[in-house]
Structure 1
C-alpha cells in the first residue's frame, strides 16, 4: 500500500446507480436487524456510539475539550467534554446526542449514492481513531475496534456499489435506531438525568419542547433518507 493507492481510495467517483433488488435486500436486512431483539441489542451499541460521538464532536466545535467516553453493557453511554457548566456551548453539546444518529444516517445514505462512499468511510476511520484514544472502558475499546475494522475492510476492499449499499443500510439502521432511542427516553419513568431533562435544567425550556426539537430533526433526516432510497428502489 502506497500513498497513491490511499489517495485513490479517498476520491469520490460520481453518481452510483443502485439497482432496486439488491438495495431492497439490504434495506429489509437492516429493518429486520433493528426489529429483532437479540440483534438490536448488539446494533444498539453502534447507535449509542454515534450518539456519544455527536456530543463529543459538537462539544469540540463549541470550544469544549473532549476527554473521554464510555459505552456500558446496558447499551447506554456517556461522553465527557470539559468547559463552562452553562451557556450555549453546553446546551448545544447536550442537545446533539439524540439527533446525531439520524443526521449521520441520512448523510451516509445521501453521500453514498452520490459517489462519496469512499471519502466518507475514510473520514469515519479518522473519527474512530480519535474515539479509540478517548475510550475509557474495555467494552468501548472493543466496539470501536470492531466498527473500525469493518469500516477499514469496506473502505479498502469493497467495490464502489457495495460500499454505497452498505452505507445506505447503515444509514437506515441509524435513523430507525435514533427513533427507538428517542421513544425510550420520551417514555422513561425517571427522566431526571436524561439529555432532555438536563437541557430543561440548563435553559428552563420545558423538557417536552426539547423532545419536540429532536422529533423535528429526526423527521427531517427520515425525509432525506426516504428521498434518497425510494428513487433507487424504482430502478
Structure 2
C-alpha cells in the first residue's frame, strides 16, 4: 500500500457515513453505557475515560483563556489533576478550574448527536488525534499507560470498525460520559473538600462551594435534556 492508498484509506475513515436505521443498536448502546456506569467493576475499568476528559477540559479552557498547559495526571485511584500556568487569580483561573466537571457531559452530549447523524468515524479520529497529542503532557507512567490504552482502543475502532459499529461505540461512549459526569459530580457533592474544584472555586471567588455545585447541576441537566430530546424519539421509534 503506497502513500496515496494510505491517504485515501484514512480519508474514507474520516468522512461522514450513513448510520443504521433506528432500532436495536440505539438500545444496545444505552444498555452498555448504563451497565458500565452502574456496575462497580466495569465503572472502575472505564472511569479513566471520564477523568481524562475532565482534566483535558481544564486544559483546553485554560489555554483558551491564555494560560499555559504544562501537564496532567490520572492517579491510580482514577482521580486526576491538570496544571495550567498563569495568574493565580482572575477570570482565566476561575474558568479553567470550573471547566472540569462539565467537560464529560458536554462532550458526551456532542458524541450522542454526531453518532446519530453519521459523524462517528470523524469524531473517533478527532478523539484519537487529541489523545495522541496529549501523550506529551502526561506526567506519570500510570497516566501515560491510561491515555495510551484509551487511544489504542479508539484507534482500533476507528480503523477497523464498520460505520455501524463506530456509530454504536460513539453513542455508547457519549451516554457513558454523560452518565459518568453525573456520577463524578455526585461524588464531589457528597464528599468534596477544599482541594476539589468547587472548593478551589470557593477560595477564588466570594461564592461558596455549594453554588458552584448547583451551577454544575444546571449545566449537566441542560446536557441531559438535549441528549434526551434526541435519544427518546430514536428509542421509541425502534420499539
Please give the TM-score of this superposition, normalised by the length of structure 2: 0.93
- The match for 2:17 is 13
Contact 1:18–1:113 (8 Å) recurs in 2: no
Within the candidate set 134, 137, 144, 1:134 is matched to 137
Within the candidate set 113, 137, 154, 1:110 is matched to 113
For 1:187 and 1:59, the matched residues in 2 are separated by 27
In the alignment, structure 2 segments of 5+ residues that lack a partner are none
In the alignment, structure 1 segments of 5+ residues that lack a partner are none
For 2:45 and 2:221, the matched residues in 1 are separated by 25
- The match for 1:167 is 170
Within the candidate set 39, 42, 65, 2:42 is matched to 39
Within the candidate set 27, 30, 54, 1:27 is matched to 30
**Cα distance change of structure 1 residues 225 and 98 upon mapping to structure 2, 3 Å threshold:** same
- The match for 2:200 is 198
Please give the TM-score of this superposition, normalised by the length of structure 1: 0.95
For 2:34 and 2:71, the matched residues in 1 are separated by 31
For 2:127 and 2:223, the matched residues in 1 are separated by 19
**Alpha-carbon deviation of 1:17?**
4.0
CA RMSD, Structure 1 to Structure 2 (Å): 1.3
- The match for 1:2 is 6
**Alpha-carbon deviation of 1:77?**
0.2
For 1:41 and 1:156, the matched residues in 2 are separated by 26
Aligned residue for 1:187, secondary structure, equals helix
Aligned residue for 2:83, secondary structure, equals strand
For 1:212 and 1:37, the matched residues in 2 are separated by 26
Aligned residue for 1:74, secondary structure, equals coil
Aligned residue for 1:79, secondary structure, equals strand
For 2:66 and 2:16, the matched residues in 1 are separated by 31
**Runs in 1 of length 4+ with deviation above 2 angstroms?**
16-19
Q: Deviations over 1:14-51 (max 9, x none)?
A: 5x344322321221122111111111112111111110
The number of residues matched between the two structures is: 233
Q: Deviations over 1:208-228 (max 9, x none)?
A: 111111001100111122122
Q: Deviations over 1:170-210 (max 9, x none)?
A: 1111111111110110111x511110111111111121111
